[in-house]
Amino acid sequence: METQDCFRRRLATLTAHLQSSPPIQQGGPCLEMDICRAKGSSPGFKVALLGASGGIGQPLALLLKMNPLISVLHLYDVVNTPGVTADLSHTDTSAVVRGFVGKDQLEASLQGMELVIIPAGVPRKPGMTRDDLFNINAGIVRTLCEGVAKCCPNAIVHIISNPVNSTVPIAAEVFKKAGTYDPKRLMGVTTLDVVRANTFVAEVLGIDPKLVKVPVIGGHAGITILPILSQVTPSSSFTKDEVLYLTNRIQNGGTEVVEAKAGAGSATLSMAYAAAKFADATLHALKGEAGIIECAFVASQVTELPFFATRVLLGRNGVDEIFPLGPLNDFEREGLVKLKEELKASIDKGTAFTAKK
């Protein structure tokens, strides 16, 4: 039988050990993260969500926790992740979820991650453009990407924070400066434009949105969002009025939500759905599944601009192939000419921001 002294000594040793170990739920040092993978009940990917307590972050965290391809989910934000993490950790899906709060825990949240999704930053209010968010969000994205370059330079990075047309070039410059840039691994998330396009086109055609695929090219703001209705699957023809209605509604889908929310933010639920869909496609491709095609805003040579959203083939290394624009009709060609000027200015603004530091 154990004597009381012996028991006390063992208790003291255990207490000292626990006090010297960082609380796993709140994040820990790099070493802890290697142990963490073994804690997932099934092998899978390690994913970090930065901006996890926000309007997009919370529903997206739930959808990612439900994804069987993910074994470890790290939730980072400057506020409220302990509560979000505690809440989410009670759901009976296999991913292990850990919370990290405040800039001191950013690096711990990123160690060993294979996919990093970034919706951190402020959303629009009515009357604002996405570019009006630049002054705040540019610095946030830069800091978070510096963390990625340092702690998980091989991770695939999905940028959601607006203005995407500038934040993706900002991220590229950060990675270039750190010597970790691989254009295949950096993607601006434009899936919400495709999700909206599929929905609105399905409404017009009177069919199930699941059957519809609309390529959306360009960027992610106003006229830089260009749905290619001539390439819709299933092959469909639209009247001139339908084309004008659909193009306008797809280009202004974000503003439609911002105005309806009347100051309470922008799209969160549909964005979380779109980001989860894009993350799932990316992870299936990383696993080696063939033929996974999505639209994304990536470093590209399909036009003279350095970044452009088009259909891309995802693979084990991220973006494996970028598809050409395909045949465009007169209306789409005109839209392409108009969007390039605005998109170029936004890209240049992002590129210049990082160079200034």
Ligand X SMILES: O=C(O)C[C@H](O)C(=O)O
Ligand Y SMILES: NC(=O)c1ccc[n+]([C@@H]2O[C@H](COP(=O)([O-])OP(=O)(O)OC[C@H]3O[C@@H](n4cnc5c(N)ncnc54)[C@H](O)[C@@H]3O)[C@@H](O)[C@H]2O)c1
The binding site for substrate comprises 124, 130, 162, 196
111 close to 33: Cβ distance less than 8 angstroms = yes
Q: Give the residue from 97, 138, 96 showing the smallest Cα distance to 118.
A: 138
Q: Which stretch binds ligand X (CB under 6 A): 87-95, 122-130, 146-154, 235-243?
A: 122-130
Q: Which stretch binds ligand X (CB under 6 A): 248-256, 278-286, 323-331, 337-345?
A: 248-256
Enumerate the β-bridge partners of residue 189: none
Residue 252 C-beta: closest distance to ligand X, Å: 9
Residue list 177-216, contact with ligand Y (CB under 6 A)? 189, 192
Look at the block and give the residue holding tokens 């911002």.
258
Q: Does 258 bind ligand X (CB under 6 A)?
A: yes
How far, in Å, CA of 155 to CA of 149, rounded?
9
Q: Does 162 bind ligand X (CB under 6 A)?
A: yes
Q: Which residue's C-beta sits nearest to ligand X?
A: 254
Q: Does 121 bind ligand Y (CB under 6 A)?
A: yes
Q: Give the residue from 153, 86, 147 showing the smallest Cα distance to 114.
A: 153
Q: Which is nearer to ligand X, 80 or 255 (CB)?
A: 255
Q: Which is nearer to ligand Y, 77 or 294 (CB)?
A: 77
Considering the candidates 74, 90, 158, 220, report the single residue annotated as catalytic.
220
Q: Does 130 bind ligand X (CB under 6 A)?
A: yes
Q: For ligand Y, which residue of 198, 230, 268, 303 counts as binding (CB under 6 A)?
A: 268
- DSSP of 308-331, one letter per residue? EEEEEEEETTEEEEE-------HH
How far, in Å, CA of 306 to CA of 93, rounded?
40
How far, in Å, CA of 144 to CA of 196, rounded?
28
Q: Does 124 bind ligand X (CB under 6 A)?
A: yes
The binder of 257, among ligand Y, ligand X, none, by C-beta within 5 to 8 A per type, is ligand X
> Cα–Cα distances in Å, from 151 out to 11, 48, 143, 164, 266?
35, 12, 12, 23, 31
**Tokens linked to 272:** 């979380």
Residue list 165-194, contact with ligand X (CB under 6 A)? 192
Q: Which is nearer to ligand Y, 256 or 289 (CB)?
A: 256
Q: Which is nearer to ligand Y, 49 or 230 (CB)?
A: 49
Q: Which is nearer to ligand X, 72 or 133 (CB)?
A: 133
Quote the distance between the C-alpha of residue 236 and its chain's center.
31
Active site residue 17: no
How far, in Å, CA of 111 to CA of 122, rounded?
25
> Residue 173 belongs to what H/E stretch?
helix 164-178
How far, in Å, CA of 282 to CA of 279, rounded?
5
Residues that bind ligand X (CB under 6 A): 123-124, 130, 162, 192, 253-255, 257-258, 266-267
Residues that bind ligand Y (CB under 6 A): 50-51, 53-57, 77-79, 119-124, 133, 137, 140, 144, 160-162, 164, 189, 192, 220, 265-268, 271
Which residues are annotated as catalytic?
Answer: 220
